[in-house]
Amino acid sequence: MKEVTGDLIALALKGDFDVIIHGCNCFCTMGAGIAKGIKDKFPEAYDADASTEKGSKDKLGSYTSATVLRNGHKITIVNAYTQHNWRGRGVKTDYDAIRKAFGGIKVSFSGKRIGYPLIGAGLAGGDWKVIATIIDNELQGEDHTLVRFAP
């Protein structure tokens, strides 16, 4: 796993990544964290999320995506369903869902430049050490980069 500091959305718009991934809950909200920024900059990604069944636990471990053209760059935004809901305290991250989603992402986007934030470790309360190990295992051999947010 490579690591950089910056703004994942801005880096994608600049052409640094072919695919960006963010963690979503299963309720089609995209109302906080990086999801809100993605919804604002890439409404197509929100439309892909909104086309799924709101609240369905069956989405855990799956993902939706939208491919857009911005600033002459083709970018695929992946909505990975890594937590069921967003309410309450405690850990909302589902580690098995992260594993399953990233396994599918490797199959679908192998060979692409992939970027992601601290998926599941921010608002969802997960342990980044556990999540990083899962991502490294599932994306082994791929060009993937953690983007630690800094404006």
Let me know: does 92 contact 85? Beta carbons within 8 Å.
Answer: yes
The percentage of residues in the chain with a pLDDT greater than 70, rounded to a whole number, is 97
For residue 149, give the amino acid letter: F
Pairing of β 73-81 and β 113-116: unpaired
- In the chain, the number of structural domains is 1
Q: What residues make up the domain containing 112? A: 2-149
Q: What is the pLDDT of residues 4-32, one digit of tens each?
A: 999 999 999 999 999 999 999 999 999 88
- The enclosing domain of 33 has a CATH number of 3.40.220.10
Residue 87 has pLDDT above 70, yes or no: no
- What pTM was computed for the model? 0.94
pLDDT for 85 equals: 73
Q: What is the CA radius of gyration of the chain?
A: 14
